[in-house]
Structure 1
Amino acid sequence: MEIKFPTSPKPQNPMDKKKLSFISTQTQRADTFLAQQLPHLSRSYLAKLIKNGHATVQNKIIKPSYKLKPGETLQLQLPNTSPNQSTPPSPENIPLNILYEDQHLLAIHKPPGMVVHPGHGNHHGTLVNALLGYTPNLAPTDDPNKWGIVHRLDKDTSGVILAAKTPSAHQALSQLFQQRQILKEYLALCEGIPSPPTGKISDPIGRNPRNHQKMTIRYDQKGKPSLTYYQTLETFPHITPKLSLLQVHPHTGRTHQIRVHLQHLGFPILCDPLYGRRKTFSWKKQTLLSRLALHAHRIQFQWQGKNFLFTAPLPNDLQNTLYTLRLTKKS
């Protein structure tokens, strides 16, 4: 199977580059063939594209039942709009802290305050806008708002996030996440001091029935199995409130999993506006932190026979907070 990405010397809009070509190696239905080549796109979405005239063979529009012959080229034109937004995300010149890049993927150090992809009330300034401003080569998905996105971080969570540049990379990385073969390590500054200092939290997580913006521990059928490991790295018992720096490994990937699990354990993340006890943290009348004290520190996985390890250092606000806390220990 061969995939060709048509190029243009000066594309006016990277999102225009959505015409994909596939060469069939055997006799099979067009819809079945496309579903095999683009597994990150849903079958229903691909079938709709074919029925709406977006698939051609020798410049002729085909039906989903069209039988491809070996050597025939099927061309698929992805639309420039998504069901949720009338116009595609615009490329924006936003600086990116790139930890790693090759022909398949990007590892980015996302700053706090940046939304990962456009959505309601956030159509600009997102990571996807920044990625499109950096490169037109992002793996297509059902929703153009999420091109290249394999996983996500909350807006105020800083740290490592991966983006796929090719459909094969998107498929492979998505499968690694689903199979829980990607090790994720977070650093969290929490209120309180856990005892014991090391442990795991395995309570199921589901949508909060009284506030759909929040998740909660649920022991009914709507609670999904969730597992988080934690280890206390450092404590600050002389501070009010007492604080702890935790290393956290989420084994599963539920929405807000770390935040919900630590809050349930009685040690909410500092400055968590949804699950915490305060929105800002000050020391001696100086505001040290005003965002969620959660950082995606490290991602590690194996792919194509290679070991990948990406580490994002703590951003300045968390570094400064810890520096001040450590100084107070000595005084």
Structure 2
Amino acid sequence: MTDDFATDDPETDDDGEVLVAWLISGGGRLDKALAQALPELSRARLQSLIAAGRVRFGDTAVTSASARAEPGAYRVHLPPPEPAEPEAQDIALTILHEDADLIVVDKPAGMPVHPSHGHPRDTLVNALLYHCAGELSGIGGVARPGIVHRLDKDTSGVMVAAKSDAAHAGLSALFARHDIERSYLAATRGAPNPSRGRVQSRVGRSSSDRKKMAVLKSGGREAITDYEVLRPFGPASRPFAAVVRCTLHTGRTHQIRVHMAHKGAPILGDPVYGSGATAPAVRMAISQAGLTRQALHAAVLGFVHPITGRALRFQTQPPPDMASLIEALEAL
């Protein structure tokens, strides 16, 4: 198989952009050789372009991704990115970092990540489509941001999204390998015991309520959360609340919310997993803070930039409602 190639500057034709890759020596699968020569395109994207007859060797269209790579010039004809279906909306974003390949934002609580039947507008995707207009190289051929992880609508904090196909593939690989630093701050009812530890379980759909996730004896997917009580509130023997740092080693739906509830310390304000008696003083602190959602904030996100190789780490403080809750708890 070849690792030898050269690339020319992009050309254009009446049907979009044309990328030219010169393979110096042959051998190996064509899709893999072209993915090495054109790192801005994922291998899956190249396979779809080959299947569509948009890769040519000389005057001949190549139709098999598994064909042997031959020495010479391959021209990859990229159609203009199709417009994304969600509407671009001018929604203010707190941007922590942005370059040609990715964008990192501090998502506010109350903003869904994706449009859905119940929330077709006012999502992070709508905001990114507006902010990144003209800068999206196309994720799988569509002008859209590449969402590689999610936060619940009512969870605030740091998120990264891809702007290019290559960054989307690279970030997806990092998350698949769990090669990402992700740390959250949570305010909990009571405190998990012991004060530091790991919750390792299977998490999947609850058999009693399909809208909820649960710790399962079998089935589901492995979920691992490390936690540490940073600040307990109330009697040392039985705190009535705490600030807990949770570090994710996997990324399952509602993972932290499920694991803290499993430890007997559900997140304050959680309408799904926060059932149980809350101390009157804590209820008053929640009311004073104006908290109307789960007190969970994605505080830290660290990863290696999939294109530049630069180590990036972002940290944000909880928004006013959660910060006010912590202050109110400290004053009790």
Counterpart for residue 13 of structure 1: none
CA shift for structure 1 position 168:
2.1
Q: Which amino acid aligns with 1:268?
A: P
Change in 2 beyond 3 A, CA 1:32/1:194 = closer
Counterpart for residue 260 of structure 2: 262
Counterpart for residue 84 of structure 1: none
Counterpart for residue 237 of structure 1: 234
Counterpart for residue 133 of structure 1: 130
CA shift for structure 1 position 161:
0.1
CA shift for structure 1 position 149:
1.4
Map Cα deviations across residues 58-95 of structure 1 (whole Å, 9 max, x no partner): 999946338886323211326637xxxxx611211001
| Aligned-partner Cα distance in 2 for 1:145–1:117 | 15
Q: How does 1:98-117 map to 2 (within 5 A)?
A: 98-117=95-114
CA shift for structure 1 position 314:
1.1
TM-score (norm 1): 0.78
CA shift for structure 1 position 96:
0.6
Aligned match of 2:220 in 216, 223, 239?
223
Q: How does 1:1-331 map to 2 (within 5 A)?
A: 21-26=18-23, 43=44, 55=54, 57=56, 62=61, 64-65=63-64, 70-77=72-79, 80=82, 88-135=85-132, 136-138=134-136, 140-142=138-140, 147-220=145-218, 222-237=219-234, 242-277=240-275, 282-283=283-284, 286=288, 288-303=290-305, 304-328=308-332
Change in 2 beyond 3 A, CA 1:20/1:29 = farther
Q: Is the CA contact 1:119–1:145 (under 8 Å) kept in the aligned structure 2?
A: no
Change in 2 beyond 3 A, CA 1:316/1:204 = same
Change in 2 beyond 3 A, CA 1:274/1:196 = same
Change in 2 beyond 3 A, CA 1:145/1:306 = closer
| Aligned-partner Cα distance in 2 for 1:318–1:312 | 13
| Aligned-partner Cα distance in 2 for 1:49–1:210 | 45
Change in 2 beyond 3 A, CA 1:228/1:33 = same
Q: Is the CA contact 1:235–1:245 (under 8 Å) kept in the aligned structure 2?
A: yes
Unaligned runs of 5+ in 2: 1-5
Q: Is the CA contact 2:91–2:127 (under 8 Å) kept in the aligned structure 1?
A: yes
CA shift for structure 1 position 305:
4.4
Change in 2 beyond 3 A, CA 1:140/1:120 = farther
| Aligned-partner Cα distance in 2 for 1:226–1:30 | 38
Q: Which amino acid aligns with 1:243?
A: A
TM-score (norm 2): 0.78
Q: Which amino acid aligns with 1:234?
A: R
CA shift for structure 1 position 133:
0.7
Q: Is the CA contact 2:288–2:325 (under 8 Å) kept in the aligned structure 1?
A: no
Q: Which amino acid aligns with 2:63?
A: P
Change in 2 beyond 3 A, CA 1:34/1:78 = farther
| Aligned-partner Cα distance in 2 for 1:172–1:3 | 23
Compare 304-313 and 57-66 and name the one that shifted more.
57-66
Map Cα deviations across residues 189-227 of structure 1 (whole Å, 9 max, x no partner): 11112221111100111222443332111222x222211
Change in 2 beyond 3 A, CA 1:164/1:61 = farther
Q: Is the CA contact 2:260–2:266 (under 8 Å) kept in the aligned structure 1?
A: yes
Q: Give the alignment's Cα RMSD to 1 decimal.
A: 3.6
User: What secondary structure, in the 3-state scheme, does the structure 1 residue paired with 2:130 have?
Assistant: helix
Counterpart for residue 14 of structure 1: none
Change in 2 beyond 3 A, CA 1:208/1:267 = same
Map Cα deviations across residues 128-171 of structure 1 (whole Å, 9 max, x no partner): 11111111323633595963212111111100000112222222
| Aligned-partner Cα distance in 1 for 2:34–2:194 | 52
| Aligned-partner Cα distance in 2 for 1:33–1:77 | 21
CA shift for structure 1 position 234:
1.0
Q: Which amino acid aligns with 2:326?
A: L
CA shift for structure 1 position 235:
1.6
Unaligned runs of 5+ in 1: 8-17, 82-86
Counterpart for residue 15 of structure 1: none
